[in-house]
Structure 1
Amino acid sequence: MSLLTNVMDHSLDDGYAEAAARKKAEGERGLPKTLRAKLGLAAGLVLAALVVTVGAAQARVAAPVVAKEREELIDRIDRETEAADRLEKSVDNLRAEVSARQREAIGHGGSSDRSELVGILSGATPVHGPGVKLVVDDAKGSGAGGEGDPRSASGFSDTGRVRDRDMQRVVNGLWESGAEAVSINGQRLTALSAIRAAGDAILVDNRPLVPPYTVLAVGDGRNLSYRFQNSADGLYLHALQENYGIRTGLSVEDDLRLPAAPSVIVRTAQPISETEKGTS
């Protein structure tokens, strides 16, 4: 019974009672909890203000440096741009000089009439005269990646778009029908011109063209138109129009003006020696 009575009278350990008494005594001697909380908040605010102040001071110190670097970068860009403009102008001048020398070299090839003919056929000189104007355009509503019946065994499916091989046949058909000079979208064609494709774009001498494609051909206008329409390439173009919706328009013109080719490559031939004949 004495054990039970002791437990009832001393339900908490003496250590807990001592700790509680000590904590109470410290609280009475120290600051109140609310005051300690306010002091902690004030200290935090002061620290935050100090950080912001230091950051602003550093930004003010760094601002002139950043502005100076920006001005130097702008000045450098301006200088490089001016240098690039000067180089581009120099390139244009050199191209013009090369073209002039090429035309001069062609002109020294013989008599004036023969030199003029060579310049026309080579594309080195601009020409004007009667001829035909042929406009070839994609079908209405055509788009890249369309599906349809294959136009040929080449693997391309019909999309209603004009292909590079179509323009090749058109140009070759005009040459064969008697054209003396041909241009596409203002770009003069020569014997070395290439019509190729890059994706769905048509390139003439590596320059992209945008439909509609306007082909100008100088020659005997009416005869040139008649011969082309009745040639195999003219009938091919007509088939594209009938079967795939390619839009075309051919007209006879009294005066067409074609520019000179931007660059003409001058090549010379050398006679074959007897030794080379024997080894060939």
Structure 2
Amino acid sequence: MSLITNVMDHSLDDGYAEAAARKQSQGERGMPKTLRAKLGLAAGLVLAALVVTVGAAQARVAAPVIAKERQELIDRIDRETESADKLERSVDKLRGDVSARQRVALKTSGGSRQADLVGILSGATAVHGPGVKLVVNDAKEASTGGDGSNPRETSGFSDTGRLRDRDMQRVVNGLWASGAEAISINGQRLTALSAIRAAGDAILVDNRPLVPPYTVLAVGDGQKLSTGFQNSADGLYLHALQENYGIRTGISTESDVRLPAAPSVIVRTAQPSTEKGTS
């Protein structure tokens, strides 16, 4: 208590108090006494004010230049975006032209019925008919973490509550195995050459990012396709994700689902080999 009382009574250190008393007894004040010292102080204050004024003036002059550069950058971004959109429209038009020529070539070489069948199976032709609609979404409270202790992570899953590319691959393969004739994900038609990959948390289909919820449409015998998928190993896999990790799913039979044509289909042909096999 005595220490606290001493600190409260002597808030100013004794050394500082002694120095202040000594300066006061010697007549030393904070303000300069001589004319020369006063002039020096005045010159310093004027210089400081001049520096502040010049800095403010320069900032005021530079502000329009910065605003102009910012606007020029915005205009450049708008022009480049418009150019990219124009190129994308041109690509889509050329893809449509290529698809039309492919269909004409198939009809010429193999007949109309065979060409239609090839177009449907290859994804080059838009299709519609009965089927199923499967909607899959991340868990409501999907996180980005994971401590690595969950068995889902060690068995090829992720324990973040997010649907992964490998999960979507199993869903699609399960629908194909259950009798689907054509499949699309968020309007992206799948073909025999389609790839489902990941970039971070995003799922890519043929290098195009998809945004959840993921709507999977499949053409086929609706009731048979729905029952077959839900009873398959891949359907049970999806059900386990729903029960254990909060993945949201819903499947329904539809009387008519419409799938667009694939944006581009590469036509490959096989030729019989002329080489004779050796025994």
TM-score in terms of structure 1 length: 0.68
Q: Residue in 2 aligned with 1:77?
A: 73
Q: Residue in 1 aligned with 2:134?
A: 134
1:116 paired to 2:113: no
- Which of the residues 27, 42, 47 maps onto 1:45? 42
Q: Residue in 2 aligned with 1:145?
A: 145
Q: Residue in 2 aligned with 1:95?
A: 91
Q: Closer, same or farther in 2 for the Cα pair 1:51/1:260, shift >3 Å?
A: same
**Alpha-carbon offset, residue 131 of structure 1:** 0.9
For residues 96-150 of structure 1, the C-alpha deviation after alignment (integer angstroms, 9 at most, x for no partner) is: 2221122113212114444333333333343332210112234454533345642
Q: Residue in 1 aligned with 2:173?
A: 172
**Alpha-carbon offset, residue 254 of structure 1:** 1.4
Q: Closer, same or farther in 2 for the Cα pair 1:137/1:112, shift >3 Å?
A: same
CA distance in 2, matches of 1:177, 1:278: 37
Which SS does the other structure have where 1:193 is aligned? Answer: coil
**Alpha-carbon offset, residue 84 of structure 1:** 0.8
Amino acid aligned to 2:196: I
Length, aligned pairs only: 243
CA distance in 1, matches of 2:247, 2:52: 69
Q: Residue in 2 aligned with 1:203?
A: 204
Amino acid aligned to 1:77: L
Q: Residue in 1 aligned with 2:100?
A: 104
**Alpha-carbon offset, residue 36 of structure 1:** 5.0
**Alpha-carbon offset, residue 40 of structure 1:** 2.3
CA distance in 1, matches of 2:79, 2:172: 41
TM-score in terms of structure 2 length: 0.68
Which SS does the other structure have where 1:267 is aligned? Answer: coil
- Structure 1, unaligned runs of 5 or more: 1-33
Q: Closer, same or farther in 2 for the Cα pair 1:100/1:48, shift >3 Å?
A: same
**Alpha-carbon offset, residue 218 of structure 1:** 1.6
Q: Residue in 2 aligned with 1:271?
A: 271
- Structure 2, unaligned runs of 5 or more: 1-30
**Alpha-carbon offset, residue 251 of structure 1:** 0.8
Amino acid aligned to 2:228: R
**Alpha-carbon offset, residue 158 of structure 1:** 4.0
**Alpha-carbon offset, residue 253 of structure 1:** 0.9
CA distance in 2, matches of 1:178, 1:68: 66
Give the percent of matched residue pairs that are identical in Structure 1 and Structure 2: 55
Q: Closer, same or farther in 2 for the Cα pair 1:38/1:89, shift >3 Å?
A: same
